[in-house]
Amino acid sequence: MTGMHPRLTTTPAATTVFTMVLTQGPVSRVEIARRTGLSSAAVTKAARPFIDAGYLEELEATERTGPGAGRPASPLVIRPDREFFIGVKITHDDLIGVVTDLRARPLASAHRPLTATAPEGVVAELAALVTGLLDTDPAYRRRCHALGLAVSGDVDKAGGLVRYSPFLGWRQVPLARLAAQATGLTVTIENDVKSLTVAEQWFGDGVGASSFALVTVGVGIGCGLVVDDRVIAGSHGVAGEIGHIPVGGDEPACHCGGRGCVEAIAGTAPLVAAVGAATGRGPLSIEAAIEAAHAGDAAARQVFDRAGHALGLAMASMANLIGPERIIVTGDVPGLAAYELFEEQVNRAFAAQAFGAAADCRVLLRPRTFEQWARGAAAVAIQTLFTV
């Protein structure tokens, strides 16, 4: 996190209490104490600064008359418009930005095309995008201090550095500092798949699961992993590289230098190339490849079946190692259209290769728009602000 922002969250108890109200509220102090193991006094002490600063408020005591009724509870609830956040997903050809409230609910959005990817130019466009978003409501300018940025590639969140982003052609770009200077906001940057994972963890289909996986299907095959309530970062900056599990045997060669990687089979480019070769139609678009399979072309279908089989094996490998409670599958538009074609093969291979009870892991297909990826960047900014 770069820039100035008041910090309310300075203890693990404060993180625990605020997070519980934010992601699961309204919830009473008694219930928070019960779920966290903290004492009632500790819960009250932890909540106090958030109430004083207007982030939390007490609902009026409700008389409980049902079974298990005790003394009246005064549930704590978030004041979602106490602060606003901006999240931006940076792709190689555009910026997608959203303003969200404290619950990462998108309130406004904006796009801005990029004609070049040099960091200075991108940051200038970003500043213009942010200005436009803040100008949509005077309250945003008054109560928005934090900006989250989501970028594909190897991102050093703590250092505010994009180490390597192939699509943008960036190496060692101090993006957090540049963006903070250009916008005057506190800036948090994170890998885009990890950002979407954080949004699912706190505000989406990951809520209530201490371990889950997000798998993204498209140009690449990505994966965000939450284990014991924490997004795995990897000791060497590498984690979640499900796309490079070699389930394909010796073929095909992958751009990573490995062989048989699931991304080299089920990623958009190799999938399209394989359909073109198998059908004898040569180079074609992903839409045309999907169309051919839908039309019943046996050779095209076989290519999609193989991709689904490979992805199912990779997902089973991941489940065997980590044991996620659920797997959320999403991706870009052609990626999801392809997934729908090979979903049955994915499920079949997953069930066959999952070890014992790992097969109980639920697989959920969830379309996510680019605005939702931008919301992920805002979720990272929120999580960073309220976590010790």
- Rounded CA gap, 15 and 9, in Å? 6
Residue 8, Cα to own-chain centre: how many angstroms? Answer: 24
**Residue of 120, 139, 360, 367 that binds its own copies (CB under 8 A):** 360
Residue selected from 47, 76, 358, 382 as contacting its own copies according to rule CB under 8 A: 358
Residue 108's CB: how many other CB atoms inside 10 A? 17
Query: What minimum distance in Å lies between the beta carbon of 43 and its own copies?
Result: 14
Q: Does 295 engage in binding with its own copies (CB under 8 A)? A: no
Task: Measure CA 68 to chain center.
Answer: 38
Query: Of 130 and 266, which has the nearer Cβ to its own copies?
Result: 266
Q: Which of 228, 280, 283, 298 binds its own copies (CB under 8 A)?
A: 228
Helices (H) and strands (E) in the chain, counts: 13, 15
Taking the alpha carbons of 226, 228, 230, 235 in that order, is the dihedral positive or negative?
Answer: negative
Q: Could you tell me the two tokens for 321? A: 């190692």
Candidates 115, 250, 282, 298: give the one binding its own copies (CB under 8 A): 250
Choices 21-29, 56-64, 75-83, 205-213; region in contact with its own copies by CB under 8 A: 205-213
Pick 23 or 317: Cβ nearer its own copies: 317
Shortest Cβ 247–its own copies spacing (Å)? 6
Whichever of 7 and 111 has its CB closer to its own copies, that residue is: 7
Q: Which stretch binds its own copies (CB under 8 A): 85-93, 195-203, 234-242, 300-308?
A: 234-242
> How far apart are alpha carbons 352 and 333 in whole angstroms?
28
Which of these ranges, 137-145, 183-191, 250-258, 292-300, lies near its own copies under the rule CB under 8 A? 250-258
Q: Could you tell me the smallest distance in angstroms from the CB atom of residue 209 to its own copies?
A: 7
- Measured from the CB atom, is 69 or 321 closer to its own copies? 321
Work out whether 247 is an interface residue with its own copies (CB under 8 A): yes
Specify the amino acid at residue 50.
F
277: contact with its own copies by CB under 8 A: no
Q: Are 196 and 224 in contact (CB under 8 A)?
A: yes
Choose the binding region for its own copies from 17-25, 137-145, 192-200, 321-329 (rule: CB under 8 A): 321-329
> What is the spatial distance between Cα 58 and Cα 37, in angstroms, rounded to a whole number?
21
> Applying CB under 8 A, does 319 fall inside the site for its own copies?
yes
Give the largest Cα separation in the chain, rounded. 74
Angle at 139 between CA 136 and CA 144, to 5 degrees: 95
Helix (H) or strand (E) holding 52: helix 40-52
- For 237, other C-beta atoms within 10 Å of its C-beta total 13
The two tokens of residue 101 are: 């409230």
Identify the bridge partners of residue 100 per DSSP, sorted by sequence position.
85, 106
Q: Is 219 in the site for its own copies (CB under 8 A)?
A: no
Q: Is 235 in the site for its own copies (CB under 8 A)?
A: yes
| Interaction of residue 324 with its own copies, rule CB under 8 A | yes
Residue 41 CB, nearest approach to its own copies (Å): 13
Q: Is 8 in the site for its own copies (CB under 8 A)?
A: no
Beta-sheet strands, E only, within the chain:
56-58, 76-78, 84-90, 94-100, 106-113, 144-151, 154-156, 161-165, 170-173, 186-191, 212-217, 221-227, 230-231, 326-331, 362-365
The site that binds its own copies (CB under 8 A) totals a number of residues, namely 54
- Could you give the CA distance from residue 112 to residue 374 in angstroms, rounded to a whole number? 13
Q: Which one of 55-63, 66-74, 134-142, 227-235 is the stretch in contact with its own copies (CB under 8 A)?
A: 227-235
- Give the span between the Cα atoms of 186 and 5, in whole angstroms: 6
Under the binding rule (CB under 8 A), the answer on residue 249 touching its own copies is yes
- Backbone conformation region of residue 54, classed left if phi is above 0, alpha if psi is from -120 to 50, else beta: left
Return residues touching its own copies (CB under 8 A).
12, 37, 154, 209-211, 223, 225, 227-228, 230, 232-242, 244-250, 256-260, 313, 316-325, 352-353, 355-358, 360-361, 388
